[in-house]
């Protein structure tokens, strides 16, 4: 393994951060009255206000125009195909640069690797259907959501109650999805439903994926779900009431939808872990700088061993998680099995970033409890990451099952 960062990755990262500084940051400054308060960021129903949505679309499309938006997408779909190691490096740099709580940067400049842009899940879509939507998705003009989770089927996917029944050349879908990111704003949805009850009960498949416009009759988003102190958000409930979808819009083979879904979920877990490294580095930088200027008992608090220990523990956490991510991404790029490693990385990194933010707040004392330095918002955001894309407990179960099944190499 050679973890030397290639020059082209560095150049790409430099260009991406310049784009954020030169074009996104001035937009945020120009619209600071809109973006500085959640009472203006969100409408009364919890959805992003039309003004915020317009700004997000503007940034998204400009990012696509410059080649950033689809850089991490597969080459087979027309993306940059930079690979897992490059993706982790870039996500880490971006998040370390911008920190938490930037509504025009997070998931806009670089989309989630499986819910937007040229998602790898789209490889399983009929070529003619893909061609009809490719350009608008690649340009950032239109977006998607990924409908897998349900009120009673989050960690236990086979508890899914949404059903799809064949009707000639179409499928009729009924059910409810919950915790669906970007659902209130998506133009298209990737929806998964049970198509064979017996196989699903036996945990041997029986779930199929479908791609459909959110304007399809029967598809609706009745409510947004605000989380962790926010007044709104991009997570919502989706209702599917006799939604009619052509068989040509199926994602992969019938009853093999979970394999299709995992094609994107694993990429999302690795990307999330890399984002955690960047956010943790951002938080540690804030703590280091503050410890040098905050004075108590006649000197900077950086002189106090208690503070030094907290900074050191943050660095140890970050280094450990970063080493794991680099190795895991290398395995993925080499085409080697990495099921348990992806789960190790996702659980470890999302737990690590929470500890780092907690210590960074402690170093800042009372200032850390305000959101003047954005640590408080980052702490809340970090806490949410231990749940989506598979909880920490589910990751541990996956790791244990792989070990018990004979995959014991570490």
**Closest by CA position to 93, among listed 10, 182, 198:** 10
What CA–CA distance (Å, rounded) separates 129 from 399?
37
- Asked if 298 and 239 sit in the same domain, the reply is no
51 is a domain residue: yes
SS3 content of the chain, % helix, strand, coil (to 5): 55, 15, 30
Domain assignment present for residue 410? The answer is no
User: What pLDDT does 53 receive?
Assistant: 96
Indicate if 201 and 319 belong to the same structural domain: no
Where do we find the tokens 């199929």? 208
Q: Total structural domains in the chain?
A: 3
**Per-residue model confidence as pLDDT tens for the chain (410 residues):** 788 999 999 999 999 999 999 999 999 999 999 999 999 999 999 999 999 999 999 999 999 999 999 999 999 999 999 999 999 999 999 999 999 888 888 779 998 777 889 999 999 999 999 999 999 999 999 999 999 999 888 778 889 999 999 999 999 999 999 999 999 999 999 999 999 999 999 999 999 999 999 999 999 999 999 998 899 999 999 999 999 999 999 999 999 999 998 877 888 899 999 999 999 999 999 999 999 999 999 999 999 999 999 999 999 999 999 999 999 999 999 999 999 999 999 999 999 999 999 999 999 999 999 988 999 999 999 999 999 888 999 999 999 999 999 999 98
Do 204 and 242 lie in a common domain? yes
Contacts of 183 (CB under 8 A, 6+ apart): 145, 147, 177, 189, 214, 221, 234, 235, 236, 237, 238
CATH number at residue 244: 2.40.110.10
Residue at which a domain ends, from 138, 168, 197: 138
Phi, psi for residue 22 in degrees, rounded to 5 = -85, -30
Whole-number pLDDT of residue 272: 94
Residues 283 and 325 in one domain: yes
Strand, helix or coil for residue 131: helix
Among 242, 258, 274, the domain boundary falls at 258
Residues 268 and 212 in one domain: no
Residue 63 sits in the same domain as residue 75 = yes
Alpha-carbon separation of residue 128 from 125, 133, 249, 250, 265 (angstroms):
8, 9, 10, 12, 24
Structural domain boundaries, residue 55: 7-138
- Which DSSP state fits 48? B
CATH number of the domain within which 31 lies: 1.10.540
| Residues 268 and 249 both lie in one domain | no
216 shares its domain with 239? yes
Which CATH number is 269's domain given?
Answer: 1.20.140.10
Whether 98 and 208 map to the same domain: the answer is: no
Same structural domain, 91 and 206: no
């Amino acid at each position: 393994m050679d973890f030397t960062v290639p020059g082209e990755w560095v150049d790409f990262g430099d260009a991406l951060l310049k784009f954020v500084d030169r074009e996104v940051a001035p937009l945020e400054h120009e619209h600071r009255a809109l973006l500085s308060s959640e009472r203006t960021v969100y409408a009364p129903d919890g959805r992003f206000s039309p003004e915020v949505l317009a700004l997000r679309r503007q940034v998204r499309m400009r990012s696509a125009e410059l080649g950033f938006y689809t850089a991490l997408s597969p080459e087979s779909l027309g993306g940059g195909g930079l690979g897992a190691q490059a993706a982790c490096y870039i996500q880490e740099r971006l998040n370390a640069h911008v920190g938490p709580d930037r509504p025009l940067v997070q998931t806009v400049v670089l989309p989630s690797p499986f819910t937007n842009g040229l998602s790898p899940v789209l490889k399983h879509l009929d070529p003619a259907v893909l061609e009809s939507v490719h350009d608008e998705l690649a340009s950032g003009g239109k977006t998607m959501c990924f409908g897998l989770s349900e009120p009673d089927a989050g960690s236990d996917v086979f508890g899914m109650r949404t059903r799809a029944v064949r009707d000639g050349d179409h499928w009729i879908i009924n059910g409810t999805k919950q915790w669906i990111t970007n659902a209130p704003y998506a133009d298209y949805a990737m929806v998964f439903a049970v198509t064979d009850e017996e196989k699903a009960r036996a945990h041997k498949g029986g779930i199929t994926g479908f791609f459909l416009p959110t304007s399809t009759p029967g598809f609706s988003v009745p409510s947004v779900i605000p989380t962790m102190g926010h007044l709104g958000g991009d997570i919502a409930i989706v209702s599917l009431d006799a939604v009619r979808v052509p068989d040509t819009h199926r994602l992969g083979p019938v009853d093999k939808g979970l394999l299709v879904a995992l094609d994107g979920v694993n990429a999302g877990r690795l990307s999330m872990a890399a984002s955690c490294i960047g956010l943790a580095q951002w938080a540690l930088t804030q703590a280091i700088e503050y410890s040098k200027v905050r004075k108590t008992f006649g000197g900077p608090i950086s002189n106090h061993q208690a503070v030094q220990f907290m900074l050191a523990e943050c660095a140890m956490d970050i280094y450990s998680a970063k080493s794991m991510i680099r190795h895991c991404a290398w395995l993925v790029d080499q085409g080697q099995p990495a099921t348990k490693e992806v789960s190790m990385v996702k659980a470890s990194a999302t737990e690590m970033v929470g500890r780092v933010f907690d210590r960074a707040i402690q170093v800042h004392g009372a200032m850390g409890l305000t959101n003047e330095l954005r640590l408080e918002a980052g702490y809340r955001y970090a806490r949410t990451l231990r749940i989506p894309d598979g909880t920490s407990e589910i990751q541990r179960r996956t790791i244990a099952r792989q070990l018990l099944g004979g995959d014991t190499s570490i």
